[in-house]
Amino acid sequence: MRLSPETVLPASVGRPTYARSAPAVGIVHIGIGAFHRAHQAAYTDDAMGAGDRDWGIVGVSLRSGDVAAQLNPQGGLYTVATRSVAGSSSRVIGAVQQVLVASEDPQAVVDAIAAPATHIVSFTVTEKGYLRAADGSLDLDAAKGPSSLYRFVGAALATRYTAGLSGLTLLSCDNLANNGAVLRRLMREYLASEHPDLTRWFDAACRCPATMIDRIVPATTETDRAAIEAELGVRDEGAVVTEGFSQWVIEDDFAGPRPRWEAVGAELVADVAPYETAKLRMLNGAHSALAYIGLGAGHEFVHQAIADPAIRPVIETLMRCEAAPTIDAAPGQDLTAYADALLERFANPALHHRLIQIAMDGSQKIPQRWLETLAWHQRRGRRCPSLEAAIDAWIAFLQDGRHPIDDPLADRLRTAAAGPGPRLSLFGPNGLLPSEWTPD
């Protein structure tokens, strides 16, 4: 038996406290993977439970129908299981109303975004989903492709404009530096090419606030699903597993109505940059370093790698001595305490976060996670031994052939890493990862 709206849940399992048949859909989320379900959808579910009801979510998968097959037969319901050393808890989330598959019904996606009740389109499409060229501009050829977020949003904006409807808030929830401004710039480039009559309206009517998102969400395993089935008494194909910690910082710049996320733990601020920079350089930078160094040392999970006495000092130095000094902290933002908390979260043995999952898409992640820190120190005549060790580990990962290279530039990376002087062929003004910092 599958989880469904008719399931009678055990008393120990949390559940929606609102009538799921009543709320309108106010959010279309593109890229409805495990992270969104454990993070933004959970915040929205809490806001709806607090009385902010008309914010149901339509999820969109751009390519695969896997999530739709998990959630649609369950009426959109799924479990968030929280795991820590102190214990575990589970709750069923009801915010997601349905999941559309863009490759199967593209017009349904456009219609959902163009619907009068929709006010927010949010995104977790990973760094590569923004389809940037090497110079950071929009790859227009890719953006015109069948699975491009720009194609669907652009068509829906055109429909809204023609119908005299309000603009939208486009909310990037991906690990991109200054993600709101990046999304706005790329969306404008697409509109200028494909819908030039919309650019002035887009500037006036739409908003792209910056965000910082933080929660560790490993890929769900069959073991996880079996444990959750034993707890619920029914099978939940859409279950996600996560840690207890969660943070969401959002620039308070919306085009129209929004959920009262700040009432359920999100932070609405004027400037996201200090939080975003700390996350990218300290958490994400350390995570990527752990992935490549840990895999090279034969570890499988994050908690194993951070427990290695040869690895932990490298990661701690990266966070405290290399990344933290580059961050202009906001008032009350304690970077020392943040590093302490990150090390504790990484060491959580109840959360089996695979290093190979973090190692995916290195060419898309490394520029914002490592290179700005390296450049900051280079301008001051300093080196970063821990980040240079991470670069060596990444190149060794590309060369050793023990692990699959899941990266949009996989073929070019293999060729570059196999050639002479791999650092010089991977970095620098003519390399795959251009930066003002060039390794010796």
User: Domain residues of the chain, as ranges?
Assistant: 25-269, 273-426
What contacts 145, CB < 8 A, 6 or more positions away? Answer: 151
Which tokens hold the place of 422?
């791999």
3-state secondary structure (DSSP) of residue 242: strand
pLDDT for the residue 420: 63
The CB density around residue 263, as the number of other CB atoms within 10 Å, is: 13
pLDDT for the residue 417: 81
Instruction: Report the amino acid identity of residue 17.
Output: T
Q: Spell out the CATH class of 25-269.
A: alpha beta
pTM for the model? 0.88
pLDDT for the residue 438: 43
H or E segment at 291? helix 285-296
Using CA atoms, how far residue 236 sits from 4, 17, 64, 66, in Å, is: 9, 20, 19, 13
Using CA atoms, how far residue 125 sits from 79, 140, 169, in Å, is: 21, 17, 17
pLDDT for the residue 309: 95
The CB density around residue 421, as the number of other CB atoms within 10 Å, is: 9
Nearest to 98 by CA among 133, 69, 135: 69
* Contact between 234 and 7 (Cβ < 8 Å): yes
* Contact between 251 and 269 (Cβ < 8 Å): yes
Q: Cα separation of 304 and 313, whole Å?
A: 14
Could you confirm whether domain 273-426 is CATH 3.30.930.10?
A: no
Q: Cα separation of 4 and 23, whole Å?
A: 18
**Helix/strand/coil (H/E/C) assignment for every residue in 338-364:** HHHHHHHHHCCCCCCCEHHHHCCCHHH
* Contact between 216 and 242 (Cβ < 8 Å): yes
* 227-230 long-range contacts, CB within 8 A, separation 24+: 227/81, 228/79, 228/81, 228/90
| Mean pLDDT, each 10-residue run in order, the chain (440 residues) | 96 93 90 98 97 94 97 98 91 97 97 98 96 93 96 98 98 94 98 97 98 95 96 97 96 97 96 94 97 96 97 97 95 94 95 95 92 93 94 92 90 81 49 44
Q: Pinpoint the alpha helices (H) of 308-421.
A: 312-317, 335-346, 355-358, 362-366, 372-379, 385-400, 410-418
Token pair 């001595």: residue: 321
pLDDT for the residue 421: 55
